Amino acid sequence: MSRAAARTDQGWTPARVYAAYRLVLSLALFIVFQADLPGPALGQDQPRLFLYAVAGFLVLAIITPPLEYFVTAERHWSWILWPLVGDIVLLTLLIHASGGLGNPLTALLMVTVAAANILLPGRRGLLITALAAILILVEQFFHGLRVHEEPFQLTGAGLLGLSLFVVSLIVRQIADRLARSEALAEQQQQEIEQLEELNRHIVQRMRTGIVVFDAQLRVLLSNRSARNLFDGPLEGQTAPRDLVDAFREWQANPARTPEPVTVSPAAQTINMGFARLAEGAQAPVIAFLEDHSRVVQEAQQLKLASLGRMSATIAHEIRNPLSAIRHAAGLLADDQRDADDQRLLTMIENHVNRVDAIINDVLYLSRRPTGNVERRPLRDVVEEIRDRWLEQGVSEDQLLIRENGPGVEVRFDMLQLTQVLDNLIGNARHHGGETTQVTLEIGLHETTGLPRLRVLDNGPGVPEAVRGQLFEPFFTTEQNGTGLGLFVCRELCEANQARLDYEPGHEGACFVITFSHPERVFE
């Protein structure tokens, strides 16, 4: 930016006000002098000198303002000092040409002295004051010589000079106070701007979405999280309909928390809370938006942490006596030859192994390593799992892949996704038999557009009476099952911001994994 452009937005500074005053004053003196109005005439003693002085004053008033645009900031004060010196000299000539100190023009010296102490830094204003006092004494001396009076009668001139110094000191004090106040105000303004910038950074980086809107439902402010949740910019627009509906619900009953709502495929569901920024119905409202899936994930992590502490206690308290029971049963089995006793010992060993398997499943669930989330095409992952099952002896017509939407991508821990799919495929083959046909169907959800994977089989399906308990821990229909398989699968899905559900209405069993949007990064 050029120096001129940088200074055009400063407004009416004291220097510009005084420049305008100088120009208006010089024009007014020139017009009054030429008009020859009745009363004490300007330049009555020496008209030619008065005309030259007014012309010089007018030229100075015209050429001084443009100089401001060509002066560096470091030397700006010097370009104010010399025009002020010129003003003092020219005003003294005007006073001398108009009859001496008794002329009303003497009051104009007060204005120039006051302006000098406002515009010039430090004690340079006193320099102008001293110059004015000296020129007044000189003018009085030459005026006395010209009118044949005593030239050393300088009492009036001395008092006027003293008055100029008093005005100078008073204005200097006022100017210093104003400068300190202005500096303090500028410092406070900078601190406020810094606080605003800090608040802006904090709000923008918050994981919670923030939306502020007025009584007309026009969005005044939104942070990055809110824009991601609503999939687009919000400022200056009417608040989204889902947000308005939730706000109306809260407005009708502030004590009731609005139900989570789905606002976009990428955000799934959102919890909303509201608060007014001030009293009154017209006060702006701030909305707090929390991704419901993230809340569930955090709750899941807390639950797993509690489960880890509990399982460690279980392992310590149960495994030691369990090992003793297994060892004692083994010793008895070596000594027993009776078939009934052998059958009872086998039963003990089977139940010991079942309890041990339950402990292992719980420990794995609670001590599961941190997921390595990555984004990959879902078909590639499914094909890798299918190839591994084919290597284990499953025929190609028993494990099929169907793709309803090409290019479907998911964000998931691939090792955990493999564990989930292996468990679902293994359950289908276990309950339906070795000849069961399992289909992995890839596609997008019809309503939300989220990635989806169906695991279907043509087996006997799940009885309706037990569907509500499928994902409960330790629930099983098998005599030797642990009841943790589907529970672990759902926990793994929720830890990756996905959901595992049973979908009725199919010939056999159908389990559906609904993934989060691949664009949403886990935090």
pLDDT digits (tens, 9 = 90+) for 63-114: 887 766 555 444 556 677 788 888 889 888 888 888 777 778 888 888 888 8
Q: What is the pLDDT of residue 300?
A: 63
Q: Do domains 296-366 and 373-514 have the same CATH topology?
A: no
pLDDT per residue over 502-515, tens digit each? 888 778 889 999 99
pLDDT in tens, 240-289: 888 888 888 888 888 777 777 776 544 457 788 888 888 887 888 888 88
- Domain residue limits, the chain: 3-192, 206-294, 296-366, 373-514
296-366 has which CATH code?
Answer: 1.10.287
206-294 folds as Beta-Lactamase (3.30.450)
Report pLDDT digits (tens) over 365-406: 555 555 578 889 999 999 999 998 998 888 888 899 998 877
Distances (CA, A) of 151 to 140, 141, 157, 160: 7, 5, 11, 16
DSSP calls for 482-509: -S-HHHHHHHHHHHTT-EEEE--SSSS-
Domain 373-514 has CATH 3.30.565.10: yes
Decide: 484 and 358 in contact? Cβ < 8 Å: yes
pLDDT of residue 439: 92
Read off the pTM.
Answer: 0.44
pLDDT value of position 153: 67
Non-local CB neighbours of 146 within 8 Å, separated by 6+ positions: 45
CA of 310: how far to CAs of 44, 112, 495, in Å?
Answer: 110, 88, 19
Q: Among 120-124, 334-338, 451-455, 463-467, where is mean pLDDT lowest?
A: 334-338
Q: What's the rounded Cα separation, in Å, for the pair 36 and 51?
A: 13
Model confidence pLDDT, tens digit, residues 328-366:
877 777 776 677 777 787 888 877 877 777 777 666 655
Q: Would the pLDDT of 304 be above 70?
A: no
User: 3-state SS of 371-406?
Assistant: CCEEEEEHHHHHHHHHHHHHHCCCCHHHEEEEECCC
Report, as an integer, the average pLDDT of 444-470.
Answer: 84
